Structure 1
């Protein structure tokens, strides 16, 4: 912003110099003709002066009008733009800048207004992140068993991420994951083996998601992955990668499971396609997870509205 303001100021100075030089040239022309009138008194010169004076007057008038026009359509708008951009740099807001006031600079003004609008959104989001970071630093919950974030952290983080996605007009997806028949695994092999399997599942999630995705232990054997700036098709691809990695990973005693393998089912939902706020988005992902369970487990389902959920 400051660079743009500096460039506009430089342009204004150049135009001002041109205007001054133009005026000086016109005045010099007038002075020269007055000198000719003073020192050349022959009748021929007097006649020439009388005949030329109207044209000189018209020339000087047009020149002055040109200077006024340049000031009105270029210098004044640039002064306004420079002042408004400086105001933006100082306070982050514009006053009364409008393309309607200066139609001859419509494209430039509209571009600046668009830039300011985006900058204000980014500034508002930066302030929001700063406050959120301050809150998180006080209550940064981590699950003691898996090392993943807890549900309490999700309750704080997900609404903020959805607000950010709405502000920047981008998608956000979440995955709801549940280890299939985990109660059977726990009851058959004991809680220590169940805890070991949950740790292994958490590591699989972290190894198959991006650094800025947030993996959460939602409760028991249920997990969630929050995926900022992620459209539905990408979220579905990640979910399928996780499901496949889980299926191909060896878990101790998994041969005792009903299907001979420890597997995972995943539901996918995306903001804003499926829901506009965090609680509804979680519900959509949970419904998709239920659909995956109903269809045979060990699969990925994207939320599909039906009469039960509407």
Structure 2
């Protein structure tokens, strides 16, 4: 690589290829590229230093674009003056689609801090139509596209766990301080979605009292409780997050939706629809109709997929679904710096139960335990039969303290349950032992995470069973 006078006027130091390879080799697009091949790719570029607030790519520009690999610093993706996304990890790539598309750029890419990048001019990607050879950079393109496909698939698998999971009744929640507006939303739902059961809340505080296990297929909420979005943005975001935990589809019905900046903020925080008050009846009816159609489409998808992904005895997820879900979390969550936890549980003295009461009664116990698990979980959590009398619970966006609370809640529920012949078990009751492990605190891949949870379960058995154990 050559030294380069950066576009902001500073000279970048010549970097060693091994050092650069170490810095960006762990990035999502480079993990599967052999290091010698990565070095060959990097040799095609130029190392540059760029000052803060420099526009690398300009929205609407149709001239040939450069591609950049981020080495140090942070860049922002901005559309129409509005922040969309931040890239701050070594190995993040910008401009790759602009190189292969002739359309004008769809966003600005602006440095938020002084940045060090590797720049690749567009002419490196030009290929003679009659030539059988192409730039080595197309190897990088292949890895970028393959990684984006894996990420999209993984995100789809994670979202799938938030869909309707059973063909039972549909539930709609309405959160609004104004009784007349609650009535408007209620009558609209009754007209468009007559089979739905409706629960109303006069404030976020009332809604927060609703147990996590109570799940809604649509939530229609006002956010005018928060007068100042700038100062109350954290409260608004927390309110949206609480609704997303309990709702598959969140619709904001509020005077706040009259302002474009607030609509954008709400959508970014997870709202699927925004409807401004006051509105024509058709606007609200149309939004509710879309949510209902989405509900039934997802219900049909679940029915079609359930046979291949469900344990026949318990009705929980099977090993195939479990492994796909965990692979998706491990792919997506490290880049987003988000934790998730595993709870592995094993029925205590289950062989003793089967030997004394038969496998048919043992199956009934497993089915009863399988019905208990989802009641303590949130939408998006996954309960699976791991094998025999073992079950595994996966808790996305869950740190260790919360996972321990969930495990203890499950332990107490099993201990208190009325199960056939439980009094004949050693200790006079049928219980379970739990092992808990959290990503990335306890392990950074699924195999190691399973091992940690299993070792904790094993320790729990030696501590006398009917306990919850996590790594120290």
Is the TM value for this pair above 0.5? Answer: yes
| CA displacement 1:30-80 (0-9 Å, x = unmatched) | xxxxxxxxxxxxxxxxxxxxxxxxxxxxxxxxxxxxxxxxxxxxxxx99x8
Given that 2:459 and 2:469 are in contact with CA atoms closer than 8 Å, whether structure 1 keeps it comes out as yes
Given that 1:159 and 1:278 are in contact with CA atoms closer than 8 Å, whether structure 2 keeps it comes out as yes
Given that 2:76 and 2:87 are in contact with CA atoms closer than 8 Å, whether structure 1 keeps it comes out as no
Higher relative contact order (CA 8 A, sep 6+): 1
Q: Take 2:375 and 2:148, find their aligned partners in 1: how far apart are those partners?
A: 29
Q: Take 1:267 and 1:126, find their aligned partners in 2: how far apart are those partners?
A: 34
1:158 maps to which residue? 326
1:171 maps to which residue? 339
1:139–1:131 distance in 2 versus 1, CA, 3 Å? farther
1:295 maps to which residue? 463
Given that 1:142 and 1:148 are in contact with CA atoms closer than 8 Å, whether structure 2 keeps it comes out as yes
Structure 2 gaps of 5+ residues are: 1-51, 94-143, 161-304
| 1:199 alignment partner, one of 367, 375, 394 | 367
SS of equivalent residue, structure 2 residue 385: strand
1:97–1:199 distance in 2 versus 1, CA, 3 Å? closer
Structure 1 gaps of 5+ residues are: 1-76, 88-92, 99-105, 305-310
Report the Cα offset of residue 150 of structure 1: 1.0
Report the Cα offset of residue 128 of structure 1: 3.3
The answer to whether structure 1 residue 208 and structure 2 residue 372 are counterparts is: no
Report the Cα offset of residue 140 of structure 1: 3.9
2:47 maps to which residue? none
Q: Take 2:327 and 2:57, find their aligned partners in 1: how far apart are those partners?
A: 38
| CA displacement 1:214-256 (0-9 Å, x = unmatched) | 1010000000001111111110110000001111111011010
SS of equivalent residue, structure 2 residue 434: strand
Aligned length: 212
The answer to whether structure 1 residue 131 and structure 2 residue 101 are counterparts is: no
| CA displacement 1:133-158 (0-9 Å, x = unmatched) | 58x95984210010011122222221
| 2:446 alignment partner, one of 267, 270, 278 | 278
1:84 maps to which residue? 58
Max radius of gyration: which structure?
1
RMSD between aligned alpha carbons?
Answer: 3.6
- Could you tell me the TM-score, scaled by structure 2's length? 0.40
The structure where helix makes up a greater share of residues is 1
The answer to whether structure 1 residue 244 and structure 2 residue 407 are counterparts is: no
Q: How does 1:30-45 map to 2 (within 5 A)?
A: none
Q: How does 1:61-100 map to 2 (within 5 A)?
A: 81=55, 83-86=57-60, 95=67
Given that 1:254 and 1:261 are in contact with CA atoms closer than 8 Å, whether structure 2 keeps it comes out as yes
SS of equivalent residue, structure 1 residue 250: coil
